[in-house]
Amino acid sequence: MTCARVVVVLPARYHSSRFPGKPLAVIAGKPLIEWVYRRARVIRGISRVVVATDHDHIASAVHKFGGEVVMTSSHHCTGTDRVAEVASALDDDYVVNLQGDEPLFPPSLVEEMIEVLKGDRPTRTGGPKVTEGRSRSPLASAHLADPLLSKSARKSSESDLLSPSARGDEDNGVQPIDIVTACHPISSADEINSPNVVKVVMDGSNRALYFSRAAIPFFGAKKDVVDRECYRHIGIYAFTRESLLRFTAAAPTRLEKTEGLEQLRALEYGMKIQVIKTEYSTIGVDVPADTKSVEKALTNTYPL
Domain boundaries, the chain: 1-104, 105-282
Please check whether residue 94 is in contact with residue 6, taking contact to mean a CB–CB distance below 8 angstroms: yes
State residue 168's pLDDT score: 47
State residue 141's pLDDT score: 36
Q: Which of 103, 104, 100, 117 is nearest to 46 (CA)?
A: 117
Q: Which of 189, 182, 211, 209 is nearest to 199 (CA)?
A: 211
Query: Which amino acid makes up residue 39?
Result: R
State residue 93's pLDDT score: 94
Q: What is the mean pLDDT of each run of 10 residues along the chain (304 residues)?
A: 85 82 89 94 96 95 96 88 94 93 90 90 43 35 38 45 45 76 92 91 96 90 66 95 96 95 96 94 76 81 52
Query: pTM for this structure?
Result: 0.79
State residue 164's pLDDT score: 38
Q: What is the largest CA-CA distance in the chain?
A: 58
Task: Please give the CATH architecture assigned to the domain spanning 1-104.
Answer: Alpha-Beta Complex (3.90)
